[in-house]
Structure 1
């Protein structure tokens, strides 16, 4: 790889206007016929398997119920970072950033209902609020993780 190849690769990687290529959508007619044939095949296989293995199905159902109970217990865990950030967003410390964000949302919503549309977005205000919430939640999170 030469010097100019390296420079060209760096420029192509850094340019935001590079071409994005996507795959062409698949033909729907072949998918529909394939889906119909596979559905018929699975139905016939399911009927044959059900007739042969009724006792085994009951055992599998009991095992599935046990697995579902274990999954339910695991789902109860919440990320403490999200909880702390939500508390901080609503706290007195981040009240100014939240106030600016809420005002911006109201302005943009009102502008969208008019004919001209919204000429601004609330990205800057959102990031100020997110930064404030993260900065507020970080010490609390570290104390919990230690």
Structure 2
């Protein structure tokens, strides 16, 4: 089975033009959006707290997962409309 016809492709406009992954751009925009801002603040606060201690068992995994989930949800709304 060939996925060539099923999967969208992203191509450069000029032969020398470097491809830019639209997912990377969208992740940056979504990470800075007001929708995910409160989760980024929680993650940053946790990271600062953990980094300020020399001995701690605390991790910021939950905060990281919450933030990544928010960003991925935001990206999923528009990513496929940008692919050719």
Shorter-normalised TM range: 0.7 to 0.9
Q: Does structure 1 residue 82 correspond to structure 2 residue 24?
A: yes
1:145 Cα deviation from its structure 2 partner: 2.2
- The match for 1:132 is 70
Q: Does structure 1 residue 110 correspond to structure 2 residue 48?
A: no
Structure 2's unaligned 5+ residue stretches are: 1-14
1:97 corresponds, among 34, 39, 47, to 39
Report the structure number with the largest CA radius of gyration.
1
Aligned structure 1 segments of 4 or more residues deviating by more than 6 angstroms: none
1:1-146 matches, within 5 Å, as 73=16, 76-112=18-54, 117-145=55-83
Tell me the TM-score normalized by structure 1.
Answer: 0.44
Tell me the TM-score normalized by structure 2.
Answer: 0.74
1:121 Cα deviation from its structure 2 partner: 0.8
Aligned residue pairs, count: 70
1:78 Cα deviation from its structure 2 partner: 1.6
RMSD (CA atoms): 1.6
1:142 Cα deviation from its structure 2 partner: 1.9
Structure 1's unaligned 5+ residue stretches are: 1-69
* Structure with the larger RCO, 1 or 2 (CA within 8 Å, 6+ apart): 2
